[in-house]
Amino acid sequence: MSDFVSGFWSVYVALITLVSVVGCGVFLWMQSKAKSAAAQTMGHVWDENLEEYNNPLPRWWSWLFYITVVFALGYLAVYPGLGSYQGVFGWSSRGQYEGEMQQAEARYAPIFAKFQNQDIKAVAADPEARQMGERLFLTYCSQCHGSDARGAKGFPNLADNDWLWGGEPDQIKTSILEGRQGVMPPHAQLGAETVKDLAHYVRSLTPDKLAHDAARAARGKEAFATVGCAGCHGPDAKGMQAVGAPNLTDSTWLYGSSEATIIETISKGRSNKMPAHKEFLGEAKSHLLAAYVYGLSQGGAGKQ
């Protein structure tokens, strides 16, 4: 009820709830007092002679309904359910969650603290730390990067040694703590032909020399240097980790290497965000996660 600024809504919800519960009890009592005439039917007949009679509920069934009404009133007195009323126990799901988190913190904090003061490379080499880091990764990171840390379209592979923002231990930890915001601005204003030339030039840079038109690639190379691409990706197209600009001369692709995909990337741009986990996970857990991810890129558990 904290989302409603007026106290009226709290009273409104409480009244609706109480009237509904009490109304059920009253209706049940009224029905139990009603007398049915012998052989009185509801007028519904099936299969020629199967009739529906207006008989009262069995006593045991009626008492079960009465018990549910009493139980509901008792529950609403003890637990929250009547507007902003918190109940006799003052219980809330948020309070229970925070209590469980405090218990977990008291239990596991000393274990996390043991590794927090160690160098990330040393932590990455510790088997116990790797197991803890893997569990943290599967809980908090696998939704985007996959359970094997190999990523997906738009989500970087963390099990190789190709990095957008740098793969040194401190850089990885900063990515986890502070998050990252990568933006590739759209360049549709360059025109379809220039964009296609740029796509062919980029495809020509890869070690496996993806299929491309040499004439378009030559024009694309000239455009790459003059329309602003080199400002982020560097004059040699090897990227710039300071701004998260990818290396265009390797065989690693975040969105795909097809001509159509590259044209879409240049024309429409891309926007990727790695959320910050500093407030959510804290320093100690982020330290373990950074060590685990660093270990994957060095040939650890994620490298199969």
- What is the average pLDDT value for the chain, to the nearest integer? 90
User: Quick one: pLDDT at residue 256?
Assistant: 94
Per-residue pLDDT band at 48 (split at 50, 70, 90): confident
Cβ contacts of 146 within 8 Å, gap of 6 or more? 152, 155
pLDDT tens-digit map of 113-155: 889 989 999 999 999 999 999 999 999 999 999 999 999 999 9
pLDDT at 5 over 80: no
Look at the chain and count its residues: 304
Phi and psi torsions of 126, nearest 5°: -90, 125
For residue 220, being part of any structural domain is answered with yes
Residue 154 amino acid letter: G
pTM, two decimal places: 0.71
Residues 260, 265, 271, 277, CA torsion sign: positive
User: Quick one: pLDDT at residue 304?
Assistant: 32
Q: What b/e readout covers 65-92, taking b as 16+ CB neighbours within 10 angstroms?
A: beeebeebeeebeebbbbbebeeeeeee
Q: Where are the beta strands (DSSP E) in 203-295?
A: 270-274
Rounded CA separation 122/125 (Å) = 5
Residue 80 sits in the same domain as residue 210: no
Instruction: Give 3-state DSSP helix, strand, coil % of the chain, rounded to 5.
Output: 55, 10, 35
Residue 173 sits in the same domain as residue 149: yes
User: Quick one: pLDDT at residue 83?
Assistant: 86
H helix intervals, 166-277: 169-178, 192-205, 214-226, 229-233, 259-268
pLDDT tens-digit map of 266-300: 999 999 999 999 999 999 999 999 999 999 998 75
Rounded CA separation 299/278 (Å) = 27
Rounded CA separation 168/293 (Å) = 10
User: Which residue in the block uniquely carries the two structure tokens 């069995």?
Assistant: 58
- Window from 29-43, 57-71, 153-167, 256-270 with minimum mean pLDDT: 29-43
- Find the domain containing 141 and state its range: 122-179+275-297
- 96: number of Cβ within 10 Å: 10
What is the secondary structure of 257-302 as a DSSP string? -SHHHHHHHHHH-EEEEE---HHHHHHHHHHHHHHHHHHHHTT-TT
Residue 24 sits in the same domain as residue 89: yes
Residue 172 sits in the same domain as residue 229: no
Looking at per-residue pLDDT, the higher value among 57 and 268 belongs to 268
Q: How many domains does the chain have?
A: 3
For residue 42, being part of any structural domain is answered with no
Residue 279 sits in the same domain as residue 266: no
Q: What is the mean pLDDT of residues 194-213?
A: 94
User: Quick one: pLDDT at residue 3?
Assistant: 58
User: Quick one: pLDDT at residue 32?
Assistant: 78
Residue 83 sits in the same domain as residue 226: no
Residue 260 sits in the same domain as residue 190: yes
Residue 27 sits in the same domain as residue 87: yes
Rounded CA separation 129/171 (Å) = 19
For residue 105, being part of any structural domain is answered with no
pLDDT at 220 over 80: yes
The percent of residues above 90 in pLDDT, for the chain, comes to 69
Domain at 281, CATH number: 1.10.760.10
Q: Which of 66, 62, 63, 86 is nearest to 76 (CA)?
A: 86
Looking at per-residue pLDDT, the higher value among 4 and 166 belongs to 166
Residue 59 sits in the same domain as residue 194: no
Residue 280 sits in the same domain as residue 151: yes
Q: At what angle do helices 8-33 and 59-78 cross, to 10 degrees?
A: 160
Radius of gyration of the chain (CA): 33
Residue 175 sits in the same domain as residue 191: no
Is the distance from CB of 91 to CB of 98 less than 8 angstroms? no
User: Quick one: pLDDT at residue 199?
Assistant: 97
For residue 40, being part of any structural domain is answered with no
- 135: number of Cβ within 10 Å: 12
For residue 126, being part of any structural domain is answered with yes
pLDDT at 13 over 80: yes
